[in-house]
Amino acid sequence: MSSRRNFLDLLGRLIPSNSSEPSSHPFVSWFIYFLAGFAGAMIIGWVLFPMVLYSSEKQPVDFSHEIHMDPDIAEGIEGNTELERCLYCHAFRKDGTFTGIPRLQDCAECHDDAEFPLGESAEEEEFLKEYLAKGKEIPWLSYSRQPDCVYFSHIAHVKMGAVECRTCHGDHGKSDRLPVYKKNRLTGYSIDIWGRRISGLKSNTWDRMKMDDCAECHTAKGREENNACFVCHK
């Protein structure tokens, strides 16, 4: 009890009240107020503000990359390496342009099986009933959609630059569920563009998809000439 009373007495001497005279330790009082204000600002800016800034949406179908990357399960997807299996669904056209997210007809090549009309999982059953049977494209939410003024060539990076998919997109090949899509209410873009940390700090190359990240990679690979404005902005 005595130690608690001593602590309260000390706290009372350090924090001035409205009815008492100014503290005899102005620096200590200032420091306490500074810490209180700083903590409040951090909570508002780094916790509450992102909660308001971003809306959360689930993907229409909870797709498992892990299952599709397993050659023993997804036998219809060809490829000996991880990159080859990625490119089987996320392929390049003959003119070198990138198809991006697979279309319904691509999924139907493996899933339209008369012996398994409802699939082997609840997610696949929903996919077959709601989309494949009705011929309706899945309205996927794109984590990586950049502004219209940004030009990005996948073939230049994957084929010519030998950049692995995970460098920009993360290790999706091992993911069993799709992450929640978080959209910036002001810009309309995914949180994966700015970065999931409001501070902008990153631990991995795929934590953000901003211009500085592209420039950083170009510089590291000795291709600084690709940092010119009109290489990426058309």
Write out pLDDT tens, residues 112-154.
765 665 566 788 888 888 898 888 999 999 999 998 899 999 9
Range in 20-29, 40-49, 105-114, 129-138 with the lowest mean pLDDT = 20-29
Question: Structure pTM?
Answer: 0.73
What per-residue confidence (pLDDT) applies to 128?
86
- State the chain's mean pLDDT as an integer: 84
The predicted structure's pLDDT at residue 19: 47
Residues 6+ apart with CB under 8 A from 208: 192, 193, 194, 195, 200, 202
Do 65 and 59 meet the contact criterion of CB atoms below 8 Å apart?
Answer: no
pLDDT band at 15 (very low <50, low <70, confident <90, very high): low
Q: Give, to the nearest 10 degrees, the angle between helix 26-43 and helix 2-14.
A: 90
Report residue 148 as tokens: 């219209």
Cβ atoms of 94 and 135 within 8 Å: the answer is no
Q: What is the pLDDT of residue 216?
A: 94
Beta strands in the chain (DSSP E): 54-57, 181-184
Locus of tokens 């949406």: 57
List, in sequence order, every residue forming a beta bridge with 55; answer none if it has no partner: 183
**What's the pLDDT tens digit per position in 158-213?**
988 999 888 999 888 888 889 999 999 999 999 999 888 888 888 999 999 999 99
Q: How many residues does the chain have?
A: 234
